[in-house]
Structure 1
């Protein structure tokens, strides 16, 4: 019998802590923070969980060989249950986005959902995989911006997308391990992402918070990648991917603080240590 714990593992439930910060960063940049922001963040979480379930459904035969302990190949979740859950969560996410943000939010949520399913079903194992997943996260940031000036959120969206590219590129070597060149490239990308997150015209004390949060992001995620460079085994690659997922709220917090919402940025970044704690119980990868 499938349990709630099995479904939580299927959708990588704790990893969803890395999702609301996308919407918050986009809303803050676009000057669109408000009651609808929370609802759009909820829609984003539903779409994220849908993508995780669809991912495992699409990978069920490969996982039977490489990760037989996963919910579907282990028999704890039926394939039909997984794909049905993915479809239901997608519909719920789109419905919530439409209810909260109207046509403007729907215009972003629909291509976001299409990109999620496109990655899982088609793009994941192609050269386009990292770019498609990066587009998913970039669109997620723009979803939060739909109540304001969306163009103002484009830099934040590109920054989160670039981070996502590094995580996705690493994730393709979670089972086999990698040569040192890959983590060197992604580490360089991570440093550039952190620099982009701190770029601001502010020159007073308020500029220190985005720098501190971006430094925290680099220390956690960049440090994990540096360990892969030293020893590029599958286990260290998986650890780096996990650090990239659970460390994303620190980057989102830096972007939020850079846009002028310092306390909110701290609140977003606080999801990073909580995500790391929960990742010990349910793997985020």
Structure 2
């Protein structure tokens, strides 16, 4: 009999901690943080879990060979149940997005859901795979901005998408291991992403008038995006450096896990760059919890 623990493993439940920050970063950039934002974040989580279930349903035959311990090949979750869960979570996610943000939110959520399913069923094992997965995360950021001007959130969306492309590229070598050229490329990409998180300041306040005192609070707010971006780059970058020195499959999986669980720090940097420093700190603060939970249920 399928248990809740089996379903949690199927959808990589703890990895969902990396999802709400997309919506929050988008909303902060567009200036639309408000009472609807938590519901949009919830819709994003439901769509993420749907994608995880659909991923394992689509990979059930491959996993039977490469990862027989996973819920479907191990017999703990039937293929029909996995597909039904993916479809149900997709429907629930779209319904919640429509309830919270109306047509404008659905205009982003529907393409997001279609892109998620397109990745799982078609694009994942093609050359377009990393780009399609990156598009999923970019759209997720824009979902948070759907109540305002999404163009203001484009820098944040592109930054999160670029990070996602590096993680996805590494994830394709989780079983076979990687050649050093791959972690070298993703490491360079991580440095650019960290720099982009500091540069993406759509909500940056105007410069203070001459003579205005620089208070500790203002100095802290100004330094916070760079501090969080550095934390992100050091943690995720260190895992990729270890792959460079030993490009075996376990090291690659560890780097992918670091990229997933470290994403809230990047989202926090983007949120802080948009002028919502306290919220950015809150987003980044879930990272230790994500790392702890990842030891119990793999995020990859």
TM-score by length of 2: 0.94
2:34 maps to: 34
Distance 2:127 2:28 in 1: 33
> Aligned to 1:117, what secondary structure does the other structure show?
helix
Matched, 1:130 2:130: yes
Distance 1:265 1:87 in 2: 32
Matched, 1:63 2:63: yes
Point out where structure 1 has 5 or more consecutive residues left out of the alignment.
none
> Aligned to 1:133, what secondary structure does the other structure show?
helix
Point out where structure 2 has 5 or more consecutive residues left out of the alignment.
208-217
Q: CA deviation at 1:71?
A: 0.2
1:118 maps to: 118
> In the TM superposition, what whole-angstrom CA distance separates every residue of 1:181-218 from its partner, at most 9, and x where no partner exists?
00000000000000000114678622210011011101
1:262 maps to: 277
> Aligned to 2:36, what secondary structure does the other structure show?
helix
Distance 1:220 1:277 in 2: 15
Q: CA deviation at 1:272?
A: 1.0
1:52 maps to: 52
> Aligned to 1:76, what secondary structure does the other structure show?
coil
Higher CA-based Rg: 2
1:9 maps to: 9
Distance 1:207 1:232 in 2: 38
Matched, 1:232 2:247: yes
**CA-atom RMSD, angstroms?**
0.9
Matched, 1:93 2:108: no
Moved over 2 A (4+): 200-204
> Aligned to 1:194, what secondary structure does the other structure show?
helix
1:161 maps to: 161
Distance 2:264 2:222 in 1: 18
Q: How many residues align?
A: 285
Q: CA deviation at 1:276?
A: 0.4
> Aligned to 1:35, what secondary structure does the other structure show?
coil
> In the TM superposition, what whole-angstrom CA distance separates every residue of 1:61-114 from its partner, at most 9, and x where no partner exists?
000000000000000000000000000000000000000000000000000000
Aligned with 1:248 (options 263, 277, 281) = 263
Distance 2:122 2:62 in 1: 14
